[in-house]
Amino acid sequence: MIEQIIFYALAAIIAICSVLAVTTRKIIRSATYLLFVLLSTAGIYLLLSYHFLAMVQIAVYAGGVMVLFIFSILLTHQPGVDVQFEKPGRMVLSGLAALAGLGLCGHIIYHNVEKVYQYVDFGEIEMTKIGFALMGTDKYQYLLPFEAVSLLLLACIIGAIMIARKR
Amino acid sequence: MNNIPLEACLAVSTIMFFAGVYGFLSRKNMLMVLVSLELMLNAADLNFVVFNRYLFPNQMEGMFFTLFAVAIAAAETAVAIAIIINIYRNVKSVYIDENITTMKN
């Protein structure tokens, strides 16, 4: 029962804050609403008992990405100036497109997702299992994508410095 | 979580995704477009995790896919913000309009 209440509270926070994040006029508020959405998503991961994933979400998104966002907002915007919107015709058109997609996906989810799937209380995945899966080379083990991601991060660091340096 | 249906989780991520689509199409500010992109990526991550938990609770493919997607999203954001700061330094504006026609100077 208490889990249900927590889930629906998190769902309401996600729905309201994600709509507010794309409709507000102040860009720093938009970043703050995005932070609320990311933290609530971490809460849903915790409810689904993916504790490691929730910690990664908080550390990488709420820690790293949001600091980058706020840093770049403060670098490129005058404080207190509202951001401009698209032309009204474009906004109506994009709102219609988003509503149409929402209606289509909602219809599919409501009618076509089978209702026989039940949540199985499987408990938390142990950290040793995650560690072995990240560091192994067998089937269902992920050393190769792990190394590929580390190479990608190195390339991103070098690329970001090359793009943003002063000439 | 025993009495929360699969559809509720999917409805949450659908609302998040289409809020991101609306923002992506309707904003002219590059940082707002990036915020919308993060919303869409986050909705996709939530879908992976929810399907993994409800359909295959003794496997962890969806969890690892989300883990790598989070890492790649962070890298993508870093590069995008570097590009935006560079554009701001060149044309003194972060709006997607006619004065950004050439990236090479």
Q: What string of H, E and C letters represents the secondary structure of A58-94? A: HHHHHHHHHHHHHHHHHHHCCCCCCCCECCHHHHHHH
When scoring A96, A163, A166 by the number of chain B Cβ atoms within 10 A, the one with the most, hence best to mutate, is A163
The SS3 of residue B3 is coil
Domain-ending residue, one of A75, A92, A109: A92
| pTM for the model | 0.89
**Domain locations in chain B as residue ranges:** 6-91
Whether B18 contacts A64, CB under 8 Å: no
**Structural domains counted in chain A:** 2
Which one, of B25, B77, B13, B36, lies nearest residue A22 by Cα?
B36
Which residues of chain A fall short of a pLDDT of 50? none
What is the pLDDT, as a whole number, of residue B1? Answer: 59
What is the pLDDT, as a whole number, of residue A104? Answer: 92
> A97: which residues sit within 8 A by CB, 6+ positions away?
B21, B22, B25
CA distance B102 to chain A (A): 15
Cβ–Cβ gap B2/A69 under 8 Å: no
Residue A27 lies in a domain: yes
Residue A119 lies in a domain: no
Residue A111 lies in a domain: no
The SS3 of residue B95 is strand
Which residues in chain B have their CB less than 8 angstroms from residue A12's CB? none
The complex scores an ipTM of 0.89
Chain A residue closest in CA terms to B26: A91
Measured between CB atoms, which of B58, B72, B85 is closest to A75?
A: B85
Whether A112 contacts B10, CB under 8 Å: no
Measured between CB atoms, which of B29, B42, B67 is closest to A83?
A: B29
Residues A4 and A85 in one domain: yes
Measured between CB atoms, which of B20, B67, B75 is closest to A53?
A: B67
For A:102-131, CB contacts with B below 8 A are 102, 105-106, 109-110, 113, 115, 117-122, 125, 129-130
Query: What CATH architecture does domain B6-91 belong to?
Result: Orthogonal Bundle (1.10)
Residue A137 lies in a domain: yes
Q: What is the CATH number of the domain that holds A84?
A: 1.20.120.1200
Residue A117 lies in a domain: no
Whether B31 contacts A69, CB under 8 Å: yes
Domain region containing A61? 1-92
Residue A3 lies in a domain: yes
Residue A101 lies in a domain: no
What is the pLDDT, as a whole number, of residue A90? Answer: 83
Q: Taking the CA of residue B74 as centre, how many other CA atoms within 13 Å lie in the half-sphere pointing to its CB? A: 24
Nearest-angstrom CA–CA distance, B84 and B18: 24
Residues A132 and A62 in one domain: no
Tens-digit pLDDT profile for chain B (105 aa)?
567 788 888 899 999 999 999 989 888 888 889 999 999 999 999 999 998 888 887 888 888 999 999 999 999 998 899 888 888 888 877 787 766 666 665
